[in-house]
């Protein structure tokens, strides 16, 4: 069945008025297939290209469900929970909730990090109908007992591939474990790789799968191109492109936070007003930068991939990839900031030679060649520097075949010829060479073995005998009477003082 307007989807009349006030009359493909399934209460796995209206696809049926059950949420609970990977996306979803629910008496709140928790605690204490949150701050409020999730009947994971990725999966599992068993679960994203799909199946029960376009294929209204530029020349090339394409707004994506600040400083030094947004910015700084970008003060925004998901600003005409992303799926979300709501846009990527492998991964993902040329052939192998090696002359042999000249001439002086093999050694001779000459005078030859000793004899030289009363051959050690040693007698005071000093010295040494 082909649905041509929102009236045929079965939405409540206040919602239809709000949609008309926003200027929408015809649902997008993802909205036309997802909204009827969600109104039936089924779980949903939706895959659609970015900028095709996925947010309205889950906000409108959730509002319709909550309006049909007018009971208020108990204190410290929420009836519907929308999870988002970034603060910017959370605020954008909340703006859609307020826009589409302007004629419905439903409350909403945003819980994200980077801001004071006091206002969030106050909003949660009375209970809210719809809570839009990031996983980290949400778990903080759940851990302190400010928020309970046992009353939640609808949970939506927007940008599901990013939410279920490495860093978010443990937090998502803890959140899902606290939810009521009878709930409706929705996962929506622009990309859904096979490993992430397997993880998503753990959270869905008999889901209705809606896939509008080929997975990971950017919409056709985006004109994509690649410029091969050396890394040191990227900033100057970027400045030239921004001056040539001055109409509309432009977003520039970098891989690192520091890189975003450097590009912003370079643009400002070149006379191009720009703002930056990344994870190191406080929420107040990020809000101020987005407000300036949405207004008329700044037309250029430099961002990391934190802004690649969820920044919905009207009039973005150009997206520049100053550096290609390490993850190919991030390219789809980057360029999806343009060509939204039926408009067209341009995406230009600056690629240096070291980023060619990243470019090939992106081309394989989207199924399209962006460079339009094959990889350049490898550089030719260069010869060694120095004079060219002379070629050996060719000669013709007697049988008519061509070959090289005969054996080479004798080597030049100093050339070392190979050693001849030694003759076999004679039996018992260790070396055929002559025995060594006797050593010089003073050389000690090895001692000959001693003869065996006779029984009872200690040494062949005979017993050692000394004269009676003599300790050794030097004679008895005798001292003059009253003399202790050769240094002479000491007085009593000196002896006592010396012994005390020796004791003191020995104790101090110890």
Percent of the chain with pLDDT over 70: 69
C-alpha dihedral over 446, 452, 454, 457, to 10 degrees? 40
**How wide is the angle at C-alpha 138 spanned by C-alphas 282 and 15, nearest 5°?**
95
Task: Report whether 96 contacts 310 (CB < 8 A).
Answer: no
Rounded CA separation 455/28 (Å): 119
pLDDT band at 175 (very low <50, low <70, confident <90, very high): very high
d(CA 190, CA 331): 11
Residue 214 above 70 pLDDT? no
DSSP β-ladder status, 402-404 and 394-396: antiparallel
List, in sequence order, every beta strand (DSSP E) within 291-344.
Answer: 300-303, 316-321
pLDDT of residue 247: 86
Query: Cα separations (Å) of 27 from 151, 215, 261, 308?
Result: 31, 20, 39, 24
Predicted pLDDT at 100? 96
User: For 66, which DSSP code?
Assistant: H
- Delimit the CATH 3.40.50.300 region(s) of the chain: 6-211, 222-366
* CATH H-level, domain 222-366: superfamily: P-loop containing nucleotide triphosphate hydrolases (3.40.50.300)
Question: 165 near 83, Cβ under 8 Å?
Answer: no
Question: Can you tell me the distance from the alpha carbon of 247 to that of 262, in angstroms, rounded to the nearest whole number?
Answer: 24
Q: Give the long-range contacts of residues 361-368, CB within 8 A, separation 24 or more.
A: 361/328, 362/324, 362/328, 362/331, 364/328, 365/216, 365/328, 365/329, 365/331, 365/332, 366/216, 366/217, 366/218, 366/331, 366/332, 367/214, 367/217, 368/224
Asked whether the beta carbons of 86 and 306 are under 8 A apart, the reply is yes
pLDDT digits (tens, 9 = 90+) for 364-417: 988 888 876 544 444 444 444 445 454 444 444 444 444 444 444 444 445 555
420-445 pLDDT, tens digit each: 666 665 555 555 455 555 555 555 65
Q: What is the pLDDT of residues 24-40, one digit of tens each?
A: 888 988 999 999 999 99
CA gap 233, 355 in Å, rounded: 14
How many degrees, rounded to 5, is the angle at CA 316 between CA 314 and CA 319? Answer: 150
pLDDT: which is higher, 423 or 126: 126
Q: How confident is the model at residue 14 (pLDDT cuts 50, 70, 90)?
A: very high
- pTM, entire model: 0.64
Q: What letters, b where the CB count within 10 A reaches 16 and e where it falls short, cover 181-216?
A: eebbbbbbbbbbbeebbebbeebbeebbebebbebb
CA distance 49 to 188: 10
pLDDT tens digits, one per residue of 235-268: 999 999 999 998 889 999 999 999 999 999 999 9
3-class DSSP assignment, residue 499: helix
Beta strands 300-303 and 316-321 are unpaired
Alpha carbon separation from 8 to 41, 112, 208, 343 (Å, rounded): 18, 36, 20, 25
How many Å apart are CA 398 and CA 408, to the nearest integer? 19
Q: Is the pLDDT of residue 509 over 70?
A: no
- CB burial of residue 278 (10 Å; 0-12, 13-18, 19+): buried
Give dist(CA 324, CA 445) in Å, integer.
Answer: 79
CB 224 within 8 A of CB 370: yes
81/167: higher pLDDT: 81
Class of domain 6-211: alpha beta
Exposure b/e, 58-91, CB count within 10 A at least 16 = b: bbbbbbbbbbeeeeebeebbbbbbbbbbbbbbbb
So what's the pLDDT on residue 407? 47
3-class DSSP state for residue 456? coil
Beta bridge pairs of residue 80: 130, 154
Place of tokens 């300790």: 471
Largest CA distance in the chain: 137
Q: Which of 261, 240, 262, 242 is CA-nearest to residue 251?
A: 242
Predicted pLDDT of residue 251: 95
Q: Tens of pLDDT along 442-468?
A: 556 566 666 666 565 555 455 555 556
Contacts of 56 (CB under 8 A, 6+ apart): 19, 24, 31, 96, 100
Q: Is the separation of the CB atoms in 339 and 347 below 8 Å?
A: no
3 state DSSP class of 307:
helix
The secondary structure of 195-213, three-state, reads: HHHHHHCCCCCCCEEEECC
Mean pLDDT of 108-121: 92
Nearest-5° Cα angle at 474, 469 to 476:
35
- pLDDT at position 281 is 87
């Amino acid at each position: 069945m082909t649905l041509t307007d929102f009236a045929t989807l079965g939405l409540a009349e206040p919602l239809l008025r709000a949609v008309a006030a926003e200027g929408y009359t015809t649902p997008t493909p993802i909205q036309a297939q997802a909204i009827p399934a969600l109104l039936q209460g089924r779980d949903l796995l939706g895959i659609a290209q970015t900028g095709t209206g996925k947010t309205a696809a889950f906000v409108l049926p959730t509002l319709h469900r909550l309006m049909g059950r007018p009971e208020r949420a108990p204190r410290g609970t929420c009836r519907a929970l929308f999870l988002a990977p970034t603060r910017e996306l959370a605020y954008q979803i909340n703006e859609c909730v307020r826009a589409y629910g302007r004629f419905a008496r439903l409350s909403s709140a945003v819980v994200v990090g980077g801001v004071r928790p006091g206002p969030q605690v106050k909003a949660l204490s009375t209970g809210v109908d719809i809570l839009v949150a990031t996983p980290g701050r949400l778990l903080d409020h759940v851990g302190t007992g400010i928020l309970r999730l046992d009353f939640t009947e609808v949970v939506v994971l927007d940008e599901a591939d990013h939410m279920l990725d490495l860093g978010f999966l443990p937090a998502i599992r803890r959140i899902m474990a606290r939810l009521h068993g009878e709930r409706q679960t929705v996962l929506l994203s622009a990309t859904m790789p096979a490993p992430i799909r397997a993880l998503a199946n753990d959270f869905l029960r008999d889901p209705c799968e809606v896939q509008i376009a080929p997975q990971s294929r950017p919409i056709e209204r985006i004109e994509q191109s690649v410029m091969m530029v050396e890394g040191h020349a990227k900033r100057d090339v970027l400045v030239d492109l921004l001056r040539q394409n001055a109409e509309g707004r432009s977003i520039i994506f970098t891989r690192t936070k520091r890189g975003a600040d450097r590009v912003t400083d370079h643009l400002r030094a070149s006379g191009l007003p720009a703002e930056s947004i990344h994870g190191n910015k406080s929420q107040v700084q990020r809000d101020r930068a987005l407000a300036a970008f949405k207004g008329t003060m700044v037309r250029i925004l430099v961002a990391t991939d934190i802004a690649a998901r969820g920044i919905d600003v009207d009039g973005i005409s150009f997206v520049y990839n100053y550096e290609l992303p390490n993850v190919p799926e991030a390219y789809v979300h980057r360029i999806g900031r343009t060509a939204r709501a039926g408009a067209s846009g341009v995406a230009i990527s600056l690629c240096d030679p070291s980023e060619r492998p990243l470019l090939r991964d992106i081309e394989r993902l989207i199924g399209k060649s962006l460079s339009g040329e094959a990889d350049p052939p490898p550089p030719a192998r260069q010869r060694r520097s120095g004079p060219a090696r002379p070629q050996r002359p060719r000669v013709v042999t007697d049988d008519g075949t061509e070959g090289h000249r005969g054996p080479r001439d004798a080597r030049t002086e100093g050339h070392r010829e190979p050693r001849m093999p030694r003759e076999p050694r004679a039996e018992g001779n260790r070396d055929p060479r002559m025995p060594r000459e006797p050593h010089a005078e003073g050389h000690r030859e090895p001692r000959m073995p001693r003869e065996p000793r006779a029984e009872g004899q200690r040494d062949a030289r005979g017993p050692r005998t000394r004269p009676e009363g003599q300790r050794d051959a030097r004679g008895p050690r005798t001292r003059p009477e009253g003399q202790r040693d050769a240094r002479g007698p000491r007085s009593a005071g000196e002896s006592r003082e010396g012994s005390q000093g020796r004791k003191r010295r020995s104790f101090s040494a110890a």
